[in-house]
Structure 1
Amino acid sequence: MKRKRFHYLLGSIALVAILIGVNTHRGPTVVSPSFTPRDYTEIRESGTLRAVTEYNRLSFHAGKDTLTGFDLELLQKFAQEKGLKLEVTPEMSYEKRIKGLQEGRYDLIATGTVVTSSLKDSLLFTHPLLLSKQVLVQRKKEEGKDSLYIGNQLELAHKTLHLVSHSPALIRIHNLINEIADTIYVREIDKYGPEQLLAMVSEGEIDYAVCDESLAKASVKDYPNLDISKSISFTQFYAWGIGKHSPDLRDTLNVWLEQYLKTKSYQKLYKKYFN
């Protein structure tokens, strides 16, 4: 399993190198491009839509000979219908995705982001693309190790939960601490994404993680010793995030989504990744 995680990270690095188009024949001088936040008019004039996503098997993933992912394919449909060239950057850090959006490096965050009141202060959201929730990732009951197994939320007291750094699930866990009136320890991981956290739990490097249920379901078949049956949050809306400076882009996406989500093409796409 450690080898699987290593290969996953190696593939991610190679993929990023390909996407950014590294050129070595021009010498060591690197000129950083300048970016400005854009709305749909500027995007249309440039002819290019810049999106950031997370590298995982649901959003954006490198297969044997192709790139796949629900968010990637949905983006491709939108860009194609609007006559736009699409640039997609995989970024594992939640904080860097937000920062890049605010700086204008990206036009939208095209990976499932939990719609919360606090995030609405800094982001505009598209129409919800799916419903999901946060779940506890732990190993299944093992003979002689049943004391590690969490059967209900009250048993989370004095346990350490691992999350991707700056995950929106942090807010839910803080609320849960109040609900159970006891301490839950939280450790944020900034080196890995949620799929790597599943691997770490499976390998016994950590005992508990919190992950989006849809992503956990898509990944758990690779880790038959994992249990993801315990909910941490209620079911919530997930959507794409757009900067406050781009209301026209949000409106354009919403009009398109209202139409496309009713088509057989979308139903086929959804079933491909979520059924």
Structure 2
Amino acid sequence: MFNPGRILFVFILLLLSCNRSKEAGYDFPQIAAKDTLRVITLNTSTSYFIYRDQEMGYHYEMIKSFADEHGLELQVVVAQNTSALIQLLLNNSGDVVAYSVPVENALKDSVLYCGLSEVSHQVVVQRAERDDTVLQDVTELIGRDIYVLRGSKYEQRMNNLNQELGGGLRLRYADRDTLVEEDLIRMVSGGEIRYTVADEYVARLNHTYFRNIDVGLKVSFDQRTSWAVRKDTPVLADSLTAWFGRVNRAPHYLRLTKRYFEEAKGFHADNQSTFVAMLAPGQISPWDAYFKQYGKQYGVDWRLLASVSYHESTFDPDGQSWAGAGGLMGLMPATAAALGIAGNDLYIPETNIRAGAEYLKMLIDTFSSVGNETEQVKMALASYNGGIGHIADARALAEKYAADKNVWDGNVERFIQLKRLEQYYNDPVCKAGYFRGDETVNYVRDVISRWQAYKSLSSL
């Protein structure tokens, strides 16, 4: 279809490009003409990942907003590690690095820093429960055990800080090759270790999972980070910088920042004791009639549907997760749309429960080859929570490494957790990339446990 506005947009960019360079190269006008922006990023909890079969991530959603504004399709190129980001850019495997690249003089002859620009630093991650003493000054670290990964930038920074303080820091190493930076934060939350160090933005994101940690003690100088493009794409650089300068205080940007770095994630149920006391004997929720109706229609135990609903929304029909899953059964909008539900219909209790029952039954049937009904349900629940792509990856890994791909406990469950490690999510058998699997493991365990409790509470 002829679009005069788009033709004018490309024409203006072409004029800008001519003014910036005598030789016509591959810059934003050519990108706009091809309708595709190639984005280089990493599979991490802050940049890009797939959750519930949806592409997500702070940097991904930001660059997608830019692409959407200019009518561009996004093509994601996932680098295997941080050192490969700039290499892929300079090899013309992508147009922009949408990741927190440290701003360094050594790269200024080959790249232009642009777009999303931030200042961060390293912080101490420490537990902050009622009886914990929260350190307020770096001098209080003297004589305390601080855990880091050997060879990491955090080890280097702590060694430098030790010299600045005149000694006294006790550096300890978590040397298992199945650990990453965020595992140490989890260990702090669980009380296994007292202190570790992380980049501020990583620590802030993990605080949304572990509310019992403090991430306020700064231990390094500020480091500026930014997105980057090649030196020969100045129009793209200018466009990204102008765009970010315009939107960085806009409501959409503020919502994204809050979504990834402030809103609590995972399951946080309210105390249900008062709620249960209000129900009739044998009643699980105000929506039991719908659970029974659609459980029977789709051949799913209605108490299993109730357990899923509790863990998705605590039976709140207006509930919405940080990721955008909505309604009683916690359906992602794209999933709901595939089931014929659009807009606010997602929050109609009967409609939502019907769709949730249909979707769960589809997932159970997907694993019919598993054979064992209990294992089918566990695989389906894991897919409901984390996305079927990650479960397919974990089963493929289980098969490759001589585990049982048809058994969840200790087998597929183990590999869904290992998908946070680069050597596993980059394995050729994996298609869905990085995944933070703890939530899914806990989800399957807790939904099954509550399902059993509901069985004892209420008969069919």
TM bucket by the smaller chain?
A: 0.5 to 0.7
Contact 1:52–1:88, Cα closer than 8 Å, also in 2: yes
Aligned residue type for 2:67: A
User: C-alpha displacement at 1:85, in angstroms?
Assistant: 1.5
Deviation digits for residues 135-165 of structure 1 (CA, Å, limit 9, x no counterpart): 123556999x99xx97753546896653597
Structure 1 residue corresponding to 2:201, chosen from 195, 214, 225: 214
Matched residue, 1:115: 103
Residues 265 and 99 of structure 1, relative CA distance in 2, 3 Å threshold: same
Structure 1 residue corresponding to 2:230, chosen from 223, 237, 243: 243
Structure 1 residue corresponding to 2:121, chosen from 108, 129, 133: 133
Contact 1:59–1:70, Cα closer than 8 Å, also in 2: yes
Structure 2 residue corresponding to 1:162, chosen from 127, 148, 153: 148
Cα distance in 1 for residues equivalent to 2:190 and 2:77:
29
Structure 1 residue corresponding to 2:247, chosen from 260, 264, 273: 260
Structure 1 residue corresponding to 2:165, chosen from 180, 184, 195: 180
Matched residue, 1:67: 55
Aligned residue type for 1:84: L
Aligned residue type for 1:64: R
Give the helix-richer structure, 1 or 2: 2
Aligned residue type for 1:162: V
Aligned residue type for 2:231: K
User: C-alpha displacement at 1:221, in angstroms?
Assistant: 4.2
- Is 2:138 the partner of 1:153? yes
- Is 2:215 the partner of 1:228? yes
Contact 1:92–1:192, Cα closer than 8 Å, also in 2: no
User: C-alpha displacement at 1:65, in angstroms?
Assistant: 4.3
- Is 2:75 the partner of 1:87? yes
User: C-alpha displacement at 1:258, in angstroms?
Assistant: 2.2
Cα distance in 2 for residues equivalent to 1:45 and 1:234:
42
User: C-alpha displacement at 1:51, in angstroms?
Assistant: 1.3
Cα distance in 1 for residues equivalent to 2:156 and 2:228:
18
Residues 91 and 226 of structure 1, relative CA distance in 2, 3 Å threshold: farther
Where in structure 1 are there 5+ consecutive unaligned residues? 1-36
Cα distance in 1 for residues equivalent to 2:158 and 2:185:
18
Cα distance in 2 for residues equivalent to 1:224 and 1:83:
39
- Is 2:253 the partner of 1:273? no
Contact 2:115–2:242, Cα closer than 8 Å, also in 1: no
Residues 264 and 221 of structure 1, relative CA distance in 2, 3 Å threshold: closer
Contact 1:129–1:237, Cα closer than 8 Å, also in 2: yes
Residues 76 and 193 of structure 1, relative CA distance in 2, 3 Å threshold: farther
Of residues 154-163 and 217-226 in structure 1, the stretch that sits farther from structure 2 once superposed is: 154-163
Cα distance in 2 for residues equivalent to 1:202 and 1:59:
23
Cα distance in 2 for residues equivalent to 1:104 and 1:206:
43
Contact 1:93–1:165, Cα closer than 8 Å, also in 2: no
Give the length in aligned residue pairs: 235
* Higher relative contact order structure (alpha carbons within 8 Å, sequence separation ≥ 6): 1
Cα distance in 2 for residues equivalent to 1:186 and 1:244:
42
Cα distance in 2 for residues equivalent to 1:87 and 1:48:
7
Of residues 248-257 and 108-117 in structure 1, the stretch that sits farther from structure 2 once superposed is: 108-117
Contact 2:116–2:244, Cα closer than 8 Å, also in 1: no
> Which structure would you say has the larger Rg?
2
Where in structure 2 are there 5+ consecutive unaligned residues? 1-24, 263-460
Cα distance in 2 for residues equivalent to 1:93 and 1:205:
28
User: C-alpha displacement at 1:69, in angstroms?
Assistant: 2.2
Cα distance in 2 for residues equivalent to 1:47 and 1:262:
27
Residues 273 and 175 of structure 1, relative CA distance in 2, 3 Å threshold: same
Aligned residue type for 1:195: E
Matched residue, 2:85: 97
Cα distance in 1 for residues equivalent to 2:246 and 2:73:
21
Of residues 151-160 and 84-93 in structure 1, the stretch that sits farther from structure 2 once superposed is: 151-160
Residues 178 and 70 of structure 1, relative CA distance in 2, 3 Å threshold: same
User: C-alpha displacement at 1:86, in angstroms?
Assistant: 0.6
TM-score by length of structure 2 reads 0.41
User: C-alpha displacement at 1:110, in angstroms?
Assistant: 0.9
Cα distance in 1 for residues equivalent to 2:46 and 2:94:
20
Aligned residue type for 1:254: T
- Classify the secondary structure of the residue corresponding to 2:220: coil
What is the root-mean-square deviation in Å for CA atoms of aligned residues? Answer: 4.1
Cα distance in 2 for residues equivalent to 1:242 and 1:83:
19
Residues 108 and 84 of structure 1, relative CA distance in 2, 3 Å threshold: same
Aligned residue type for 1:266: Y
Contact 2:121–2:219, Cα closer than 8 Å, also in 1: yes
Residues 103 and 233 of structure 1, relative CA distance in 2, 3 Å threshold: same
What is the 5 A alignment of 1:30-45?
39-45=27-33
Aligned residue type for 1:96: A
Contact 1:164–1:194, Cα closer than 8 Å, also in 2: no
- Identical-residue share of aligned pairs (%): 29
Cα distance in 2 for residues equivalent to 1:258 and 1:267:
13
